[in-house]
Structure 1
């Protein structure tokens, strides 16, 4: 394998995990964060791959600091969230800023702590430029980290983003001790809601049945390692959102994603009953118990596989 220079923007748990995977494959890896004290444009000079692993709120700032990207550089975005100003995804922000730049989305059931422990995991790299996706696949693949390619970057990105909202709902379900039946129903209908949103956006429905959709949903909604799950779980225990966030390590992107998602859903008339109740719960307009009642008492309807 050709050895390359790779720069990871963002030195949090996720960025560090990705950089470590590439370094173990023999690649030259450099990390940059706001605390680095170096100019970002100088750090990325000569890089074959740039990985953006910052929070969604930091994407525009990084774009501005980069200035220009030259040559055959590939940009990998590993950020899960929606821009509060435009409701755009991170890859859409990158593509608008650097026209013609090969952008690859990386997402999947990838809990950072498990990857750091060397436990087996799989992910998806998606792009409209498949040569770029295959290059990223080669750089990160190992015996403990299996990488698949996909040609639907929007669907892969939305799968990783929307499941964070569902993870909050799943955490509430467990915090209230509602049982396995309730959680299974919640996740099934949550996936349906994710597909409804994604297809309205222009993504492929089948993408959400893959690793970045169903896979990430299962991992995030069932693990205490998930920050979004922890937010919901502690809300179910009766704690306030402010109290939960103050004691949380890192960012729970679902908290920031939810209001942006609801804004877009209203603009495009998308039916999002679970996301809307999470939104109201985060605003303290309803209690966790009231959210459950609202879901259970909706109008009766048939279930069809095509009824997204």
Structure 2
């Protein structure tokens, strides 16, 4: 990968050294930015990592976002520091996305969501990819665009951080469903139909909370869903395939050895949908499957047995069950 010119080199604190954090560190290093990587098992302290940082990037699991953000706030950062979230999930207690937790904790700082069809192993291998840097602060989004862009990694900007974030978060639930479909060897037709029907479900949720519909047709929506729902490199896809193979969830997660955010996201999403009255037929079957209430075949059967209706009525109509 070759350098893409930036106005100045930045100092970045990378919080999290998992698969995605490591991939992002590789991308940032290409443009020769000063990089400080913090993890709970690392030698560098959190205070040392964030000291005078231009950018603080959160690449930690969803369960750690609120706690780590609180620690960063207590230690103190400049209002000019750009906060970036590369975490995909929903907070179990508040149902907030990571960016909203960061904006709530740091109301005066620009917050950028980094999300797209980015499988970490392919990024590490230097294969070409594209992503989205989304923020209400265009200058901050463009700064992150410059930091990560290279001849192998193309970064686009948009002004819909919530839609960008929800696209990346909710597709993990759908990837579990498609993994089940693939594991049961139901064929390409079934997988294609499931992915296509999953898109309006995600759009319905996102637009309910004010996200822009077109965001879900871009890299952070359809693009990310295609990558996650069609590759065995996807942890959530492998969860679904494992369930189809008759394994229990605990065994599957142990074999993964890393976080599959779709498992926790499904639980939070169902509670959110119940509260807001949002129809989520695919996600609800995934939830029942993860809870052990139905088998993989029963989940597929329940979706196929739904009431017949026109295709277009599900796109943005929240009254559809």
For normalisation by structure 2, the TM-score amounts to 0.94
- Match for residue 110 of structure 1 among 112, 118, 137: 118
For 1:27, the equivalent position in structure 2 comes to 33
Per-residue deviation, residues 17-73 of structure 1 (Å, max 9, x unmatched)? 111111111111110011124431232111111110000000011112112221411
For 2:319, the equivalent position in structure 1 comes to none
- What stretches of structure 1 of length at least 5 have no aligned partner? none
1:7-18 aligned at under 5 Å gives the runs 7-18=13-24
For 1:52, the equivalent position in structure 2 comes to 58
Task: Give me the CA root mean square deviation.
Answer: 1.0
1:36-51 aligned at under 5 Å gives the runs 36-51=42-57
The alpha-carbon deviation at position 306 of structure 1 amounts to: 7.3
- Is residue 2:104 matched to residue 1:96? yes
Distance 1:257 1:22 in 2: 28
- Paired residues, what number? 308
Which stretches of structure 1, 4 residues or more, deviate above 4 A after TM superposition?
none
For 2:200, the equivalent position in structure 1 comes to 192
Distance 2:314 2:274 in 1: 22
- Match for residue 304 of structure 1 among 283, 305, 312: 312
Distance 1:43 1:181 in 2: 48
For normalisation by structure 1, the TM-score amounts to 0.98
Distance 1:262 1:307 in 2: 19
- What stretches of structure 2 of length at least 5 have no aligned partner? 1-5, 317-321
- Match for residue 166 of structure 1 among 150, 153, 174: 174
1:1-308 aligned at under 5 Å gives the runs 1=6, 2-66=8-72, 67=74, 68-304=76-312, 307-308=315-316
| 8 Å Cα contact 2:160/2:215 also seen in 1 | yes
Distance 1:207 1:306 in 2: 18
Q: Which moved more, 1:233-242 or 1:251-260?
A: 233-242
